[in-house]
Amino acid sequence: MKKFLFAAIFAFLALASVEVNAQTTKGDVWLGGSSDLGLTFTPDFVFNTALNADYFLMDRLSVGADVDVYVAAQTYIGLSPRVQYFITKSIYANLEANVLRINPGGTTVDLHYLNAGVGYWHHLSDNVVISPRINLNDLTGVLGIGTSLSFQVKL
């Protein structure tokens, strides 16, 4: 596990050293999807995929939301508002909170989890990015470390 974590951090830092022109300006709207690819290091196996949208309130600062499909011991669909701040042109910090869950047992509105992460925007073109991210999952409960990969398109 230590070797994998070291390799993941090394790969992230290597990617972060590449300079790109991130389009993170006020008024930009980005739509896309993401997945943790089943690579979550928690006590239980977790798979999460999401559709997401972000709006830049100002240069480098966006607010948005994920509509999650979460598969684990309990399967649900959820809503997670989020905020992202770009520390550099390509490295950002992310904070998201799952506040709505719909599952076979009913619908609940509560703070179900709070996640934080650091990611890297890599532009495939002026309007398309892929973004690997390292996450601290469930800051309010059983803390885990995970990864995710998103694909977004600028409208």
The residue with greater pLDDT, 148 or 23, is 148
Q: Tell me the residue type at 6.
A: F
For the ranges 8-12, 42-46, 53-57, 145-149, the one whose mean pLDDT is highest: 53-57
**Looking at this protein, which amino acid is placed at residue 68?**
D
Architecture of the domain delimited by 2-154:
Beta Barrel (2.40)
| Cα dihedral value 132, 74, 5, 87, nearest 10 | 40
Nearest to 115 by CA among 100, 88, 93, 132: 93
Closest CA to 46 of 152, 138, 139, 118: 138
In contact, 40 and 71? CB cutoff 8 Å? no
Q: What mean pLDDT comes out for the span 7-25?
A: 48
**Residue 93 DSSP code:** E
Model confidence over 58-85: pLDDT tens digits?
999 999 999 988 887 778 899 999 999 9
Read off the pTM. Answer: 0.76
Rounded Cα distance, 75 and 151, in Å: 23
pLDDT in tens, 41-57: 555 666 778 999 999 99
